[in-house]
A = this chain, B = another copy of it.
């Protein structure tokens, strides 16, 4: 593998000249530039990004803190932006959390990080802030001073779902949330959804019940069975958990009930997931792509020295599909 020294030698110039013709950070005469470019072509020279990173303290790589429960749809959207901006994307899972975060930021491999599965009170956030390490969030905390983030407005989303169902005449509504582990750690979207649901129920003077649920079909089946048993008058279910919809549907069918005639199902899901389902699920359009794009874009702009200050709560529309209808009971 050719190095810059090789190029310099072959072109008969100083090493620093090669560097500068490449970076354009100082004028280079046409003839010299020509010779250098020729040498580069001859030797198929590729700059060694790692060495450059050590010298400049910029790697042009960011990390996406990959959560325990993958909202995989974010990954593609983040990657699209890093790609387009010529950044690298490192996936990172922080197992022992704070310690890992510290390591990650000091190893020198990345310039900044996009945080996911943000908790209401998040020690990782505190740590990054304290060290002034560049980051943005998909999600948000209770306290978000000076932090750039983008999030779905779960308060809006759950209120919207409940209002929609209430207007259809539903009186008994259940909410199937994410895993209890996520509730325990205080994951923002999970806690906010829970609270917003109950708040909306109260506001509309309805009967509401909620339960946590692991991210697999069987758990969804069990949860739904239990809910239907506890409240036979249940006519509507809301969920934001993409992996459980199949189980919900089956549990409903297994009791001889129909969707949407007997039970309406409403989700907070990406259109892609909502339409994968049979019947297609009426859902708040979870804007994975937009969120991933924005968080990444904000981070990179931050890294490039731009003054960004964005805190965005998205309120995407509810798309009516075939899983919901008026309450007939």
Contact = CB atoms under 8 A, between A and B. Distances in A.
B246 A61 contact: no
Nearest to A273: B276
Contact of A50 (B90, B109, B243): B109
B216 A272 contact: yes
A109 B62 CA distance: 13
Majority-rule SS of A interface residues: mixed
Interface string A234-260: 000000000101110110010000000
B275 A217 contact: yes
Nearest to A70: B76
B70 A59 contact: no
Given A72-B76, A103-B46, A249 B278 contact: yes
Interface of A: 1, 46-51, 53-54, 59, 61, 66, 70, 72-73, 75-76, 79, 83, 88-93, 95, 102-103, 106-109, 216-218, 243, 245-247, 249-250, 253, 272, 275-280
16 contacts: A46-B106, A47-B107, A50-B53, A50-B107, A50-B108, A54-B54, A83-B95, A90-B90, A91-B91, A217-B272, A218-B275, A246-B276, A246-B280, A247-B275, A249-B278, A253-B278
